[in-house]
Amino acid sequence: MLTIDQATYDALVAHAKRDHPVEACGMVAGPAGSDRPTRHIEMVNAAGSPTFYEYDSTDLFQLYRELDDNDEEPVVIYHSHSATEAYPSVTDIDLASEPGAHYVLVSTREHGNNPGPVEFRSYRIIDGVVTEEEVRVIPSEESS
């Protein structure tokens, strides 16, 4: 199960809506070994695509150095789908390289960047096997 605080949930949804129709992407880091998402990091979709996301390799390298320096790890790796459901594509599955991470997909296909609900789903992707998991959103003050 992914447990995420309301402020982080809201930030991921806002990022997905703001970047629509381009896929938004980023991660939420947390203390190594904790499975607690605590620090939201928006990334730029270097592909600038509505159907694919790609981190800038220099930005990603710098981010992993920062995570290492802070004894953090990626707890949530997220991106949006602007035209399809919140389910990992074949490409998403092939690129999933963090077996301990929660892979969150936010679909903005119904309302785009307008007000309205999104589809927010989380998965574990290990060795190409996709398993959906429950998402529990808690008040922000409970997460500290």
- Specify whether the CB–CB gap between 39 and 72 falls below 8 A: yes
Other C-beta atoms lying within 10 Å of the C-beta of residue 51 = 14
User: Can you give the pLDDT of all 144 residues of the chain as single tens digits?
Assistant: 999 999 999 999 999 999 999 999 999 999 999 999 999 999 999 999 999 999 999 999 999 999 999 999 999 999 999 999 999 999 999 999 999 999 999 999 999 999 999 999 999 999 999 999 999 999 987 544
Q: Structural domain of residue 94, as residue ranges?
A: 2-143
Question: Residue 97 has what DSSP assignment?
Answer: -
The number of domains in the chain is 1
Report the alpha-carbon distance of residue 112 to residue 118 in Å, rounded.
9
> Strand 119-126 to strand 102-107: parallel, antiparallel, or no bridges (unpaired)?
antiparallel
DSSP H/E element including 19: helix 6-19
Report the alpha-carbon distance of residue 103 to residue 27 in Å, rounded.
9
Give the position of tokens 């990992």: 88
CATH number, residue 33: 3.40.140.10
Report the alpha-carbon distance of residue 134 to residue 137 in Å, rounded.
10
